[in-house]
């Protein structure tokens, strides 16, 4: 069964819900702010388990979060146990809060990508270092043998 997880919440103990009863599943399909001022008065939500049982949601307002490529990440939402109305300023504020949330997603994604690149770079550096050590040891060993076998002659030949 598809689920919806809460990334961060205040005053709500639920960590996830079934997507089939999720208000956010509706909000992500709407442009702008999706508002349900009184869930009991809205036919499509009146019998929702999240409305008629705890957490007893009576108000919902959410705005979708999309990547620059247009992929839906989720929603930024506000819920309450009392019916409410949002002023235009509150609607604008909810939409404005999208930007820092999306930037945080981008920062976390880029941080993960950089960590993966650093791991790949470490592996490459180890491989190159290992691959170069063997030929250097061979040359050093061969040089040592030449000095042992030819002693002073090899030094004079090289310097002249």
Structural domain including 30 reads 3-114
**Cβ atoms of 80 and 59 closer than 8 Å:** yes
Is position 12 within any domain? yes
The pTM of the full predicted model, rounded to 2 decimals, is 0.65
**Cβ atoms of 58 and 40 closer than 8 Å:** yes
Ranges of residues in the chain whose predicted pLDDT is under 50:
160
Domain containing residue 62: CATH number:
3.30.450.40
Structural domains counted in the chain: 1
Is position 140 within any domain? no
Residue 158 has a pLDDT of 52
Is position 136 within any domain? no
Residue 103 has a pLDDT of 87
Residue 112 has a pLDDT of 92
Is position 133 within any domain? no
Is position 147 within any domain? no
Residue 124 has a pLDDT of 87
């Amino acid at each position: 069964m598809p689920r919806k997880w809460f990334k961060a919440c205040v005053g709500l103990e639920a960590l996830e819900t079934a997507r089939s009863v999720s208000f956010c599943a509706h909000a992500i399909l709407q442009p702008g702010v999706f508002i349900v001022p009184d869930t009991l008065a809205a036919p499509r939500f009146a019998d929702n388990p999240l409305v008629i049982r705890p957490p007893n949601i009576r108000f919902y307002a959410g705005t979708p979060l999309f990547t620059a490529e247009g992929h839906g990440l989720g929603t930024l939402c506000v819920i309450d146990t009392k019916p409410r109305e949002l002023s235009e300023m509150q609607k604008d504020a909810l939409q404005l809060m999208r930007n820092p949330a999306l930037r945080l997603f981008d920062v976390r994604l880029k941080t993960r990508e950089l960590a993966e690149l650093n791991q790949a770079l470490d592996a490459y550096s180890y491989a190159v270092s290992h691959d170069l050590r063997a030929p250097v040891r061979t040359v050093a060993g061969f040089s040592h043998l030449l000095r042992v076998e030819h002693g002073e002659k090899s030094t004079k030949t090289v310097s002249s």
